[in-house]
Chains A and B, each alone.
Chain A
């Protein structure tokens, strides 16, 4: 099956610094990539959807200036958490799809655990 990787798998940073998380589709071209946030013992919440070469579409309540998403190529999307604060600590998961339609499978990365001190 299709493989999606994320880097780093975990990161600890100081409050006020920025952190970049990479999401790569290893063996397929991802037209669309999705970023989710998962709180402990809770569901995955969609943060934003990005299509290669265009601006990301953010879900209501997600600060686009805080969570910068770049989808520069068909195999790479990045999420940058700017000026991170302890409340940004969470598990961030990306997924990639060969289409923007729901009936096309999303392939998920293993996630990145962010801890902001």
Chain B
């Protein structure tokens, strides 16, 4: 069964500093990988996704992620964090079973941004 690990429960960065959120996955086949952001009162919003091709994926709000098969990782990065980026971030892996699909989420990383 697939699984996702986000080692960092809580990260604090200063506004303007760079950010990297870690994600490791376990999946037997080529994974579909996602990063979502959850803000209070709002639904999860997709930041970016990887299915195949270029291992460096660009997303919305200036985020990017790099798929590294050898490390089973899909870390999320942003060169300069804004205060509005404070939220909960979830990494997820998608699995197709032929008749259905499911997303398995990591436990999330809460990002705090200090001014």
Does the CB pair A100–B105 fall under 8 Å? no
In the complex, which residues of chain A have a beta carbon less than 8 angstroms from the beta carbon of B106? 43
Q: How many contacting A-B pairs (Cβ < 8 A)?
A: 64
Which B residues lie within 8 Å of A57 (CB)? 100
Please tell me if B43 contacts chain A, counting CB pairs below 8 Å. Answer: yes
With A43-B90, A105-B49 as given contacts, are A100 and B99 in contact (CB-CB < 8 Å)? Answer: yes
Shortest distance in angstroms between A35's beta carbon and chain B's nearest beta carbon? 12
Contacts of B103 in A (CB 8 A): 34, 44, 46, 102, 106
Q: Which residues of chain B come closer than 8 Å to A77, judged between CB atoms?
A: none
The answer, among B46, B90, B101, B107, for a CB contact under 8 Å with A100, is: B101
If A43-B105, A43-B106, A43-B108 touch, whether A102 touches B95 (CB-CB below 8 Å) is: yes
Number of residues from B at the complex interface, CB < 8 A: 25
Residues of A within 8 A of B42 (CB): 110
**B17 contact set on A, CB distance < 8 A:** none
Interface residues on A, range: 20 to 34
The answer, yes or no, to whether A93 is at the interface (CB within 8 Å) is yes
Q: How far is the CB of A34 from chain B (nearest CB, A)?
A: 8
Q: Assess whether A49 is interfacial by the CB under 8 Å rule.
A: yes
CA gap between A27 and B26 in the complex, in Å = 35
- Give the distance in Å from the alpha carbon of A93 to the alpha carbon of B108 in the complex: 15
A67 at the interface (CB under 8 A from B): no
Contacting residues, chain B, for A105 (C-beta < 8 A): 46, 49
Residue from A45, A95, A97, A100 with most neighbouring chain B CB atoms (10 Å): A100
8 Å CB interface, B92-115 against A: 94-96, 99-108
Q: How far is the CA of A106 from the CA of B95 in the complex (A)?
A: 13
Report chain B residues within 8 Å CB of A42: 107-108
- Add 7 more A-B contacts to A43-B90, A95-B44 (CB < 8 A): A41-B9, A42-B108, A43-B105, A44-B90, A46-B103, A93-B43, A102-B96
Binding site for B on A (CB under 8 A): 4, 32, 34, 41-46, 49, 57, 59, 93, 95, 97, 100-111
